[in-house]
Amino acid sequence: MTALVIRQLDDSTAHEFDSLPDPLGVRAAHPLTRHRPDWQRVALRDGRIVARAAWWGGPDDTEPLCVDRLDMADGETEAAAELLRSAPWNVDIDFSLPAGWRTDPAAREAVEARFAAARSAGYELLVERFNYRWTPECGVPERPGRLVFGPEPDDAVFLDALRRIHSVTLDAHSLKAVAEGGVDRAAQEELDFFHWCPSPREWWQVARTPDGDLVGIHIPARNHQAPIIGFIGVVPEQRGHGYAYDLLTECTHFLVAQGADRIVASTDQGNLPMAAHFAKVGYPVTRERVNFHLPAGVR
């Protein structure tokens, strides 16, 4: 087989990225996502592009945050793996996949080829997630009225709540952060994400009982494409009452009041209670997300 040539794109060659099909419908599902040409790489064999990968980050980020596109021609799984293996950025992979992809033979074959490329490059599966997209047609649920919501200007209050929330969690990313650096690291990473979002800090809210006891926090936010449910979390001692539903409902009302005509959200597929709350509030699953990560010491 002819040797592989890896090329990083630039403004003059960015059009080459579109030379392969998009069997998983990523472009159509995320029309507002933009990639920097110098964060796109292609693999060529005999002058023909046989694999491509794109890394993504916010407009102010100096380094990409994740790989969010990986495609290859038939039989070129190893070419895709080499794109990842030889890249200068060691970041997670965030695959956007059609909902129910396992039931579609063509989609399943395409997905499994990408998973094989990721594993060949040293990545391991971290978690599978549901992606949700609320629109006005879904309706706005009635507020249960059990909790009192309000802003809180002190980051220390949120950091303390996050420590308590992440001390007992089903979220795979949080569990990974706890395993690598403890609860403090997991809480700080979450807080850093809230600050990374371009939405106003004043949107962050705490939830309390009518007697003033802390129940949890919710973060209505915007990323660089859409309004999002940034975070829903209930402190351990308040769990078992379905309060995450109250927080999700309030977060939805808040974003709608800000003029949102769509709201994007996600949760781990293994987080059955949160998935049930999204279904109850009226958020349909529109895509699935599968995250791979590089274990410590791989590169």
Give the model's pLDDT for residue 299: 67
Mean pLDDT check: name the lowest of 23-27, 31-35, 170-174: 31-35
For residue 45, give every residue at least 6 positions away whose Cβ sits within 8 Å of its Cβ, in sequence order, or none.
1, 2, 3, 4, 5, 76, 79
Mean pLDDT of 26-41: 95
Task: Specify the pLDDT at position 2.
Answer: 86
User: Has residue 97 got a pLDDT over 90?
Assistant: yes
- In sequence order, what are the residues at sequence separation of 6 or more whose Cβ sits closer than 8 angstroms to the Cβ of residue 56? 33, 35, 39, 64, 65, 66, 67, 68, 69, 94
Over residues 107-123, the pLDDT tens digits come to: 999 999 999 999 999 99
Q: Please give the mean pLDDT across all residues of the chain.
A: 96
Instruction: Looking at the structure, give the CATH architecture of the domain made up of residues 137-287.
Output: 3-Layer(aba) Sandwich (3.40)
Mean pLDDT of 211-227: 97
Tally helices (H) and strands (E) across the chain: 7, 12
Choose the weakest-confidence range: 162-171, 273-282, 290-299: 290-299
Strand partners, 45: 48
Q: Following CA atoms 135, 194, 218, 126 in sequence, which dihedral angle do they give, to the nearest 10 degrees?
A: 80
Long-range contacts for 228-235 (Cβ within 8 Å, ≥24 apart)? 228/197, 228/263, 228/264, 228/265, 229/132, 229/255, 229/263, 229/264, 229/265, 230/193, 230/194, 230/197, 230/199, 231/190, 231/194, 232/274, 232/277, 233/161, 233/162, 233/165, 234/165, 235/161, 235/164, 235/165
The pLDDT value recorded for residue 182 is 97
Question: Contact 247/255 with Cβ under 8 angstroms?
Answer: no
Average pLDDT over residues 132-148: 96
3-state DSSP assignment of residue 259: coil
Domains 5-122 and 137-287 share a fold: yes
User: pTM (2 decimals)?
Assistant: 0.94
**Spans of all domains in the chain:** 5-122, 137-287
pLDDT of residue 187: 98
Q: Which whole number is the average pLDDT over 151-167? A: 98
Average pLDDT over residues 117-146: 97
Give yes or no for residue 297 having a pLDDT over 90.
Answer: no
- End-to-end Cα, the chain, rounded Å: 27
In this prediction, residue 298 carries a pLDDT of 74
Confidence (pLDDT) at 207: 98
Q: Was domain 5-122 assigned CATH 3.40.630?
A: yes
Q: How confident is the model at residue 296 (pLDDT cuts 50, 70, 90)?
A: confident
